[in-house]
Structure 1
Amino acid sequence: MIFDEVPTTVRAGAMVFSGGAGDDGFFIEKWKGWGPVATKRSITKRSNAAGSFPTQGYPDDRTLIFSGRCHANGAERMGWFENQFSGLFMDGLGGRVLVEHGGYVTWAYGFRADQPDFESEIPGSTSTYQLGLWFPDPRKFGLITPDQIFSGPHGVNIITQNDGNYEARPVMTVSGNMPGGYLVNGPNALGYGVTHAVVPGHPHVIDMNDGSLTIDGVRIYGATPINADTWGVPPAGQAVQILHPASGTGNLSIAVPPTYI
């Protein structure tokens, strides 16, 4: 296996794995899997012709494997590190894994991939470890900064930008006073229409990953009888959205996380 250049830092749950060397904590010496992923597709062979029928491919899931050494000053400290390592994501729910590497800070949602390894090398001083993390969604997301939030009043074209290399799904926040609901027009004649009133101080949050609408953290059902299209912002590209109130006035704010594959 060819390993990639080690990252600056990997943060998983409450744990920190550092690139390079040190005398207290976990340090990464080898890692693989944060770069390109395989493509998956359903293949149907041509029975009376060469090859197969063309089908669209999609990024496959991601597995990150890294290993190195854990250093500690004494057996008690080493035991604490081992317990921390053994309990990582053992609730089965997984968690956010944040990676600083190559000048970028990205994160993805990962789970334990297999049996981890933690072995004493020098008792009370040095242990070796290996950890695998599985990411069913292979996308990596950059941190949202003010540069990735695009806002404007109703009736105005809002041009969003994706600085990543893969389609980004925006999260839209609709605020104001719109008793009759509203329609958000997106690219390619797509639209997201809501009949539920927008009340001052209780904005609507629309997640283009799954088309969900939430108000004050509660998911709302049955409020999109017009249409509930979803869309993305193309890699290194732009998309235009515009808010149309049925009545009243409103504001549209769109957060676009840089998205990578």
Structure 2
Amino acid sequence: MDNEMILLDGFPLTGPAREGVWKRLGELEGWFDSPDPKRKSVQRENGDGNYPSEIHYESRLITFTGRVTSKNHKYLHEAGNRLVALPGRGGKQFVVKGHGPTQEAIVDPRGKVSITFPTDTRMEFQIPLEAVDPFKYGERRFKSVASGASDTVFHRGTVEAWPSVTVSGSMPDGYTVTIGGQSVSVPMGIPSGATHTIDYRRRRLYVNGSLFMGAFGASNFRSVPPGRRTTAALAAPSGSGSATFTVYDTYV
């Protein structure tokens, strides 16, 4: 597609660049598909079938196949040198634009980057990648709520999204964050100038950016369903503050 742009670690794998014209060949394997489901099956010894268990997803396996057409042989090898280094040691951002909402994932190398040179000015390549977090993320949405008040949070993805909540203010007796009627409380006081961040996916609290263990009282972590406004609130027995709820459009 003319408006397609695919980036790995900020470098465009489609379109013109100094080294030549980059183009995707074939399908973007593994990106538009769902990842494989996984579950632990426990057999019913005295009955039919298995006991039901929760279904999760395997890692998302992505393969990008492409071509570079360059104006000379030197630039072609510059493209190859850049290409083999792109996946690095992992933790790279993979972004797909031009196919509906812009989506991204964090990827690691799944195998070697393979390169062939059909001519002195053309290179074909394949990059195998793995997103250990199989979900794809789109627009980031914020909502700030003062203590004693409530508002709604939402996202436009297709599966439930796990929020991150950043709390600040002066609340000496702790505070409680509520999403969709489910509460997470932090009995530890928060002084003026400090920042607490609650990672709902990992169920962790960070104080001024550092992990703090054993901080929660009530811990009913709740995800945000897609396309539906969900009430979010901050309450404190003393003092005052605010909470910023961050939610990404989340897709599978």
**TM-score of the two chains, using structure 2 as the length reference:** 0.88
- Structure 1 residue runs of 4 or more that deviate by more than 4 Å after TM superposition: none
* 1:101, distance to aligned residue in structure 2 (A): 3.8
2:12 matches 1:16:
yes
Q: What is aligned with 1:172?
A: 165
**Contact between 1:198 and 1:204, CA under 8 Å: does it hold in 2?**
no
**Contact between 1:210 and 1:230, CA under 8 Å: does it hold in 2?**
no
**Contact between 1:7 and 1:18, CA under 8 Å: does it hold in 2?**
no
**Contact between 2:22 and 2:68, CA under 8 Å: does it hold in 1?**
yes
Greater alpha carbon shift after TM alignment, 48-57 vs 163-172: 48-57
Q: Would the alpha carbon gap of residues 45 and 226 (structure 1) be closer, same or farther in structure 2, given more than 3 Å must change?
A: closer
2:245 matches 1:245:
no
* 1:19, distance to aligned residue in structure 2 (A): 6.7
* 1:257, distance to aligned residue in structure 2 (A): 0.6
Q: What is aligned with 1:208?
A: 200
* 1:188, distance to aligned residue in structure 2 (A): 4.2
Secondary structure of the structure 1 residue equivalent to 2:50? coil
Secondary structure of the structure 2 residue equivalent to 1:85? helix
* 1:44, distance to aligned residue in structure 2 (A): 2.8
Q: What is aligned with 1:88?
A: 86
Identity of aligned residues (%): 22
Greater alpha carbon shift after TM alignment, 212-221 vs 244-253: 212-221
Distance 2:233 2:171 in 1: 15
* 1:251, distance to aligned residue in structure 2 (A): 1.3
- Equivalent residue for 1:27, pick from 19, 23, 27: 23
Could you report, residue by residue, the CA deviation over 1:84-135 in whole angstroms, capped at 9, with x for unpaired residues? 11112232x3312111142211111111111221111111x11111111101
Could you report, residue by residue, the CA deviation over 1:149-191 in whole angstroms, capped at 9, with x for unpaired residues? 1122111122111211111111112122222221112334332
- Equivalent residue for 1:100, pick from 97, 100, 118: 97
Read off the aligned partner of 2:204 and give its amino acid letter: S
**Contact between 2:8 and 2:92, CA under 8 Å: does it hold in 1?**
yes
Greater alpha carbon shift after TM alignment, 211-220 vs 148-157: 211-220
Distance 1:39 1:6 in 2: 33
Secondary structure of the structure 1 residue equivalent to 2:80? helix
**Contact between 1:6 and 1:29, CA under 8 Å: does it hold in 2?**
no
Unmatched segments (≥5 aa) in structure 2: none
Q: Would the alpha carbon gap of residues 83 and 117 (structure 1) be closer, same or farther in structure 2, given more than 3 Å must change?
A: same
Secondary structure of the structure 1 residue equivalent to 2:93? strand
**Contact between 1:19 and 1:29, CA under 8 Å: does it hold in 2?**
no
Distance 1:23 1:13 in 2: 17
**Contact between 1:155 and 1:242, CA under 8 Å: does it hold in 2?**
yes
Read off the aligned partner of 1:255 and give its amino acid letter: T
Distance 1:153 1:119 in 2: 58
Corresponding pairs, count: 250
* 1:6, distance to aligned residue in structure 2 (A): 10
Q: What is aligned with 2:178?
A: 185
- Equivalent residue for 1:219, pick from 180, 190, 211: 211
**Contact between 1:13 and 1:95, CA under 8 Å: does it hold in 2?**
yes
Could you report, residue by residue, the CA deviation over 1:171-212 in whole angstroms, capped at 9, with x for unpaired residues? 112122222221112334332324132314x33222212122
Structure number with higher strand proportion: 2
**Contact between 2:177 and 2:232, CA under 8 Å: does it hold in 1?**
yes
Q: Would the alpha carbon gap of residues 214 and 118 (structure 1) be closer, same or farther in structure 2, given more than 3 Å must change?
A: same
Distance 1:55 1:209 in 2: 20
Read off the aligned partner of 2:223 and give its amino acid letter: G
